[in-house]
Structure 1
Amino acid sequence: MTQDILQPFPKAYSAIDEQTRLSGFTMASDIHTCSLLKTLAASKPGGRFLELGTGTGLSTSWILDGMDEDSVLISVDNDADFLRIAAHYLGQDPRVSLVHADGADWLSANSPEKFDYIFADTWHGKYLMLDEALNMLKPGGFYIIDDMMPQPNWPDGHDEKAKNLIAYLDSRNDLVLTKQVWATGIILAVKIG
């Protein structure tokens, strides 16, 4: 067994990847993480999906690739320039709503919403407003975060934030979680109860 990704890449992936490099965006999700996102998305037919932190849409393209035709994805980002790249390549897909908003504002305004799958790839929903994001997760729903192992772009002191986040998630009795020392470090949690 190898880590090679033999499943087809999303149609728009190469073009988005090229535009991502040209844009200077350096926070894109690892390709192995993206493959896992697609696989997990395929397990939620007719699902409601939330991505916090669209970036340029690389991970978004993989989530969409795993979703069935009856599923919907809301993807939120506060950077209009990066979101424009995602919209150019993915915006024609009727299953996705790309939202330009501050994560805190969006989470606050949409707190009654419920989702089968939340990929929190930005501060809000991960390091900030974590409880608010987890309250939006349906029982049996996936909560996914990456970049939990030290990354070269982490600012000083971020390692302590990551350790505190992991300890908090471990302490919750409404989540079953697995910490994967793989890719950039992934935590996959399922809400119970």
Structure 2
Amino acid sequence: MNDQDIQNIPESYFAIDEATKVLGFTMPSDMLTCSLLRTLAASKPSGRFLELGTGTGLSTSWILNGMDKSSTLISIDNDKSVLNIAKTHLGKDSRLSLVLSDGEDWILKNINKRFDYIFADTWHGKYLLLEEVLDMLNPGGLYIVDDMLPQSNWPEGHAEKAIEFVKKLDQRTDLKLTKLDWATGIIIGVKIK
């Protein structure tokens, strides 16, 4: 078995990856993480999906690739330049709503929405507004975060924030967690209440 032998890469991935490099965006999702996101998405038929931090849409393309035809995905980012890449390559997918918004504003305006799968790939939903985002998760829903292993682009002091974040998750009684020392460091939680 070779985890680098990734099969069935979404058609749009390579064009998004190229546009990401041209833009100089330095925080793209890791392909191993993306492959896992797709597999987990397939476990939620007719699911309601939320991605906090679209970026250029690399991970979005994989989530969409795992979703069935009756599922929906809302993906939020506050950077128009990266979101435009996602719109260009994924915007015709009727299951997808791409939203240009500050994460905090969107979460607080949509606090009553419920989701079966939340990929928190930005500060909001991970380091900020964690309680609010986890309250948006349906019982049996998946909460997924990546970049939990030290990254070269982490700012000074970020390692301590990551350690504190993991401690907060460990203390929760409403999540069953698995922490993976794999790819960029992934945590998967399942809501049990």
Where on the TM-score scale, by shorter chain, does this alignment land: which range?
Answer: over 0.9
SS of residue in 1 equivalent to 2:119: strand
Deviation at 1:2, TM superposition (A): 1.1
* Structure 1 unaligned regions, length at least 5: none
Check conservation: 1:5, 1:35, Cα contact below 8 A. no
- The aligned counterpart of 1:24 is 24
SS of residue in 2 equivalent to 1:86: helix
- The aligned counterpart of 1:131 is 131
Q: Within 1, Cα distance between the matches of 2:7 and 2:138? A: 29
Aligned residues: 193
Kindly provide the amino acid, as one letter, of the partner of residue 124 in structure 1.
Answer: H
Q: Within 1, Cα distance between the matches of 2:71 and 2:184? A: 27
Deviations 1:137-173 (A, max 9, x none): 0000000000000000001110000000000000000
SS of residue in 2 equivalent to 1:127: coil
Deviations 1:76-129 (A, max 9, x none): 000001000000000000000000000000000000000000000000011000
- The aligned counterpart of 1:96 is 96
SS of residue in 2 equivalent to 1:128: coil
What is the TM-score normalised by the length of structure 1? 0.99
- The aligned counterpart of 2:153 is 153
Check conservation: 1:56, 1:84, Cα contact below 8 A. yes
- The aligned counterpart of 1:60 is 60
Q: Within 2, Cα distance between the matches of 1:69 and 1:183? A: 28
- The aligned counterpart of 2:190 is 190
1:143 aligns with 2:143: yes
- The aligned counterpart of 2:178 is 178
Instruction: Spell out structure 1 runs of 4+ moving beyond 2 A.
Output: 4-7
Kindly provide the amino acid, as one letter, of the partner of residue 16 in structure 2.
Answer: I
Kindly provide the amino acid, as one letter, of the partner of residue 7 in structure 1.
Answer: Q
Q: Within 2, Cα distance between the matches of 1:152 and 1:23? A: 19
Kindly provide the amino acid, as one letter, of the partner of residue 117 in structure 1.
Answer: Y
Deviation at 1:22, TM superposition (A): 0.4
Kindly provide the amino acid, as one letter, of the partner of residue 53 in structure 1.
Answer: G
SS of residue in 2 equivalent to 1:62: helix
* Structure 2 unaligned regions, length at least 5: none
Kindly provide the amino acid, as one letter, of the partner of residue 112 in structure 1.
Answer: N
Check conservation: 2:6, 2:35, Cα contact below 8 A. no
Deviations 1:28-70 (A, max 9, x none): 1100000000000000000000000000000000000000000
The percentage of aligned residue pairs carrying the same residue is 64
Check conservation: 1:50, 1:117, Cα contact below 8 A. yes
- The aligned counterpart of 1:75 is 75
Kindly provide the amino acid, as one letter, of the partner of residue 19 in structure 1.
Answer: A
